[in-house]
Amino acid sequence: MTPASRAECEDLDRADPLGRFRSEFDLPAGLIYLDGNSLGAMPRNVTAALQKVAAEEWARGLIRSWNHAGWVDAGTRVGAKIARLLGAAEDEVVVADSTSINLYKAIGAAIQAGHDGWVLTDEGNFPTDLYVVEAAVRQFGAKGLRLVPRERLREEIRSDVDLVTASHVDYRTGHMLDMAELTEAAGAAGALFVWDLCHSAGAVPVDLAEAGVDLAVGCTYKYLNGGPGSPAFIHVSSRFQDRLRSPIPGWFGHQDTFAFGSEYAPAGGARRFQAGTPGILGLAGLEVAVDLWLDVDMATARAKSVALSELLIDRVGERCAPHGVGLASPRDPALRGSHVSLTHPDAHGVVQALGAAGVIADHRPPDLVRLGLTPLYTRFVDVWDAIEILAEVLDSQTYREAAFAVRERVP
Ligand X SMILES: Cc1ncc(COP(=O)(O)O)c(C=O)c1O
Element containing residue 117 per DSSP (H, E): none
**Cα 391 to Cα 400: distance, rounded to the nearest angstrom:** 14
Catalytic residue among 172, 271, 370, 379: 370
Our answer to whether residue 370 is catalytic in this structure is: yes
* 221: annotated active-site residue: yes
What is the smallest separation between the CB atom of 99 and ligand X, expressed in angstroms?
Answer: 4
Give the pairing of strands 326-327 and 233-236.
unpaired
Pick the piece of the chain touching ligand X (CB under 6 A) from 12-20, 72-80, 94-102, 253-261: 94-102
Per-residue CA distances from 20 to 13, 377, 379, 388 (Å)? 10, 9, 11, 25
Q: Write the burial class of residue 100 (CB in 10 Å: 0-12 exposed, 13-18 middle, 19+ buried).
A: middle
Closest CA to 312 of 356, 334, 342, 352: 342
**Window of 141-149, 195-203, 249-257, 333-341 that interacts with ligand X by CB under 6 A:** 195-203
Angle, helices 99-112 vs 127-140, to 10°: value is 30
Number of chain residues interacting with ligand X (CB under 6 A): 13
**Least distance from ligand X to the Cβ atom of residue 37, Å:** 8
Contact residue for ligand X among 35, 129, 310, 382 (CB under 6 A)? 129
Residue from 221, 223, 252, 404 carrying the catalytic annotation: 221
Does the footprint of ligand X cover residue 277 (CB under 6 A)? no
Beta strand pairing call for 118-122 and 161-167 = parallel
Q: Does 98 participate in binding ligand X (rule CB under 6 A)?
A: yes
In the complex with ligand X, the residue whose CB is nearer, 37 or 65, is 37
| Selected binder of ligand X within 2, 65, 76, 99 (CB under 6 A) | 99
Q: Which of 33, 104, 126, 399 is an active site residue?
A: 126
The single residue among 126, 140, 252, 404 that binds ligand X, judged by CB under 6 A, is: 126
Q: Is residue 21 a contact point for ligand X (CB under 6 A)?
A: no
- To the query of whether residue 196 is one of the catalytic residues in this protein, the response is yes
> Any idea how long the chain is?
411
Give CA–CA dist 191/116, Å, rounded.
10
Which of the ranges 123-131, 202-210, 245-253, 367-375 carries the binding residues for ligand X, by CB under 6 A?
Answer: 123-131
In whole angstroms, the minimum distance from the beta carbon of 411 to ligand X comes to 12
| Residues between 225 and 244 that touch ligand X (CB under 6 A) | 232
What DSSP character marks residue 21?
Answer: G
Q: Where are the beta strands (DSSP E) in 25-76?
A: 32-33
Nearest Cα to Cα of residue 342 among 383, 396, 298: 383
Considering 196, 346, 362, 382, which one is annotated as catalytic?
Answer: 196
Tell me the H-state helices in 150-279. 153-156, 179-188
First CA to last CA distance, the chain: 34
CB of 252 to ligand X, least distance (A): 18
Whether 380 is catalytic is no
Q: State the nearest-atom distance from the C-beta of 371 to ligand X, in Å.
A: 15
Q: Which part of the chain contacts ligand X (CB under 6 A), choosing from 50-58, 124-132, 176-184, 310-318?
A: 124-132
Residues 135 to 174 in contact with ligand X, rule: CB under 6 A: 167, 171
Binding to ligand X, residues 208-227 (CB under 6 A): 219
Residues 6+ apart with CB under 8 A from 304: 16, 18, 375
319 three-state secondary structure? helix
Question: Using the 8-state DSSP alphabet, how is residue 60 labeled?
Answer: I
Alpha-helical runs (H) found in 320-410 = 347-356, 380-396
SS3 295: coil
The single residue of 105, 150, 172, 222 carrying the catalytic annotation is 222
- Window contacting ligand X (CB under 6 A); options: 92-100, 106-114, 248-256, 327-335: 92-100
Choose, by CB under 6 A, the member of 24, 162, 196, 310 that binds ligand X. Answer: 196
- Least Å distance, CB 159 to ligand X, is 28
> Omega before 366 cis (within 30°)?
yes
Residues in contact with ligand X by the rule CB under 6 A: 98-100, 126, 128-129, 167, 171, 196, 198-199, 219, 232
Q: Which residues are catalytic?
A: 126, 196, 221-222, 370
